[in-house]
Structure 1
Amino acid sequence: MNKELEHQFVTHLEKHQNIVHKICRIYTNDQASHNDLFQEITIQLWKAYPKFRGDAKFSTWMYRVALNTAITLYRKKKRGIQTQDIDTVHFRVPIDEYNHEIEQQLKLLYDAVKELNDIEKALVFLYLEDKNYKEISETLGISEVNARVKMNRVKTKLKNILNP
């Protein structure tokens, strides 16, 4: 790949890396797994980047690739997560650290979200990212009506988890 394409990708990734961190937070339980998933999502984004046509916003495309990667690896978890060595990719992206105070405040929510199934987790994540139902439906590949119905069910489910 040419240097300009690599530069564009790194710029986009640096700008939107918190999306990947949040997805990693939802689908992992410890820092090592978080780092592994972040690495794998970054590699999958890099591999798919030449096919990014710009029809959607980069962040919407990134959500879709990252969520699909996380869900695929999460489902394969029983067989072990297979990751690639980031050294095979020639760029480095600095990783922002989470604010530990904010992490503590979100812990209850994340614990509740971890009890949801893969699609429900993705719905909650996109909803918390202030995505509208049209964007959610495009990202997940479902109808807008289906996204609304599923989200209402997930809200009820989360209320039951948080207030038993």
Structure 2
Amino acid sequence: MTDPEQKQILEQWLDQHKGLLFKIVRAYALTAMDRDDLFQEIVIQVWHSIPAFRHEASVTTWLYRIALNTAIKWTRKERKHTQAEALDDVHHLLSENKTTDERLTWLYEEIHKLDEIDRSVTLLLLDGFSYKEMAAMLGISESNVGVKINRIKKQLITQSKNYDNPGI
């Protein structure tokens, strides 16, 4: 695969799936600087993985796995990743839509408080993946996915009551 072909694939994938990547980044990194660093690391990992993509899974599934694994590793290391890659040509594709909805901000803060696997399950659920797909991506059983989803929902419901009635 030539560099121009790889660059074209990267641009296409980022254009089509940047919302998915931003969602993962926002769940794993709270500050703007950390989100930028993590997003850059995910893009670098995607870039390196393109030649290995064999179309055995959908692009969405492939990108999810790369992004989640990268975010989990990045979180565990708790250090800034400063790999320099020449990705300036695709910078226009990477601008995040800024949202001011405080409920969404609250939700991402709550998702960020979850452990790594629960965060991943939550994001996959929000994007409509089946239990079977989630289990395959995360390496856990479908029944474990179901139990985790049930617990996460209960936890978020409890936390939302505190959000709706601050001071209680």
By the TM > 0.5 criterion, same fold? yes
Please list, as runs of the form range in 1=range in 2, the aligned pairs for 1:1-164 lying within 5 A after superposition.
1-2=1-2, 3-77=4-78, 80-87=79-86, 89=87, 91-93=89-91, 94-102=93-101, 104-164=102-162
CA deviation after TM superposition for structure 1 residue 72, in Å: 0.6
% same residue: 36
1:143, 1:4 → 2: CA distance? 37
User: What's the C-alpha RMSD, in Å, of the aligned pairs?
Assistant: 1.8
CA contact (8 A) 2:135 2:145 kept: yes
Query: Unaligned 5+ residue runs, structure 1?
Result: none
Query: Unaligned 5+ residue runs, structure 2?
Result: 163-168
Task: Describe the SS at the equivalent of 2:113.
Answer: coil
Per-residue CA shift, 1:9-42, capped at 9, x if unaligned?
A: 3212221111111111111111111111110000
Per-residue CA shift, 1:51-72, capped at 9, x if unaligned?
A: 1111110010100110000011
**Count of residue pairs brought into register by the alignment:** 160
Q: Could you tell me the TM-score, scaled by structure 1's length?
A: 0.88
Task: Describe the SS at the equivalent of 2:54.
Answer: coil
User: After TM superposition, which residue ranges in structure 1, 4 or more long, deviate above 3 angstroms?
Assistant: none
CA contact (8 A) 1:23 1:125 kept: yes
CA deviation after TM superposition for structure 1 residue 90, in Å: 7.0
2:145, 2:82 → 1: CA distance? 31
Task: Describe the SS at the equivalent of 2:143.
Answer: helix
2:97, 2:24 → 1: CA distance? 13
CA contact (8 A) 1:112 1:162 kept: no
Q: Could you tell me the TM-score, scaled by structure 2's length?
A: 0.86
2:5, 2:121 → 1: CA distance? 34
CA deviation after TM superposition for structure 1 residue 44, in Å: 0.6
CA deviation after TM superposition for structure 1 residue 91, in Å: 4.4
